[in-house]
Amino acid sequence: MTTSTLKQRVLAGERVLGTMALEFFVPALPQLAKVAGAEFVLLDMEHTGISMETLKHLIAGCRGIGVAPVVRVPATEYDFIARVLDIGAHGVMVPMVETREQAEFIVSCTRYPPQGRRGAAFGVAHDDYQGGTPAEKIEAAHRRNLVIIQIETPKGVESAAAIAAIPNVDVLWVGHFDLTNFMGIPGQFDHPDYHAALAKVVGAARANGKGTGFMASDERWGREYLERGFSMIAYGMDSQLYQRTLAQGISALKQR
């Protein structure tokens, strides 16, 4: 029986739920996420000091357990995008995308010729060191590799429809803090201009059959953004989840 990839599920309009890691890059993370019900783990390079070597260990820990490893790279550069795919990531998230041209370049880094410019390395981590023809491996990679474009500026919002129309852009992901910062309304998530921006991004994704993503710091935000039409939700950052749960327990013990 063939199992649908994360990419296929997102493009089919399914709701997919996972989590985001910025601090706790430990061997147990993939299995902990799996037991908790996460379907993907988003590993962050943009705001952390994680190395490719550590990423490779974590991605290997996801192998065969039903958790898709996705990596947010720190910049729109071929060396980051192609490399995280080569070490086995099932998808890549790229921050601060503002134009169709940027998005087209990102996609080209994830696709083999003639569709793109990704260099060939077969029989390595991304194909589980297995045999097979290059053509089979290319087809499998193209079927699996999820491309997430982060919309984090007003210019990105204005370009959302053009970006969503690009083949193999799979998800438009709103970076809410950066978006409000660049809009001049930092942290004002109830502001009507922010809500209008969200609607524009969701509308662009829906019109082109693409997914929409968001990082929800708590259950209320998760429910709200699912209702707004977001289909791919990363629940919490690891450090926030740990700190909040620890604080609740300590507070309860103090009260006794």
pLDDT > 90 in the chain, percent:
98
CA nearest neighbour of 141 among 150, 153, 132, 149: 132
Mean pLDDT of 58-72: 97
Helix (H) or strand (E) holding 93: strand 91-94
The residue ranges of every structural domain in the chain are 6-255
Q: Supply the pLDDT for residue 1.
A: 36
| Those residues with Cβ within 8 angstroms of residue 125's Cβ, 6 or more apart along the chain or in another chain | 56, 59, 60, 86, 87, 88
CB 123 within 8 A of CB 129: yes
Fold exhibited by the domain 6-255? TIM Barrel (3.20.20)
pLDDT at residue 148 tops 60: yes
Q: What confidence tens digit (pLDDT) does each residue in 75-107 have?
A: 999 999 999 999 999 999 999 999 999 999 999
Sequence-distant (≥ 6) Cβ neighbours of residue 1 within 8 angstroms: none
pLDDT of residue 121: 94
pLDDT of residue 30: 97
b/e map 15-34, b = 16+ CB within 10 Å: ebbbbbbbeebeeebbebbb
Task: Look at residue 256 in the predicted model and tell me its pLDDT.
Answer: 75
Beta strand spans in 146-210 (E): 146-151, 171-174
Joined tokens for residue 172:
């438009």
Reported as a single tens digit per residue, the pLDDT across 151-207 is 999 999 999 999 999 999 999 999 999 999 999 999 999 999 999 999 999 999 999
The reply to whether 126 belongs to the active site is no
Nearest to 213, CA basis, from 148, 146, 168, 164: 148
Considering the candidates 47, 57, 126, 195, report the single residue annotated as catalytic. Answer: 47
State the pLDDT confidence band at 4, using cuts at 50, 70 and 90. confident
Measure the CA–CA gap between 72 and 89, rounded to whole angstroms.
10
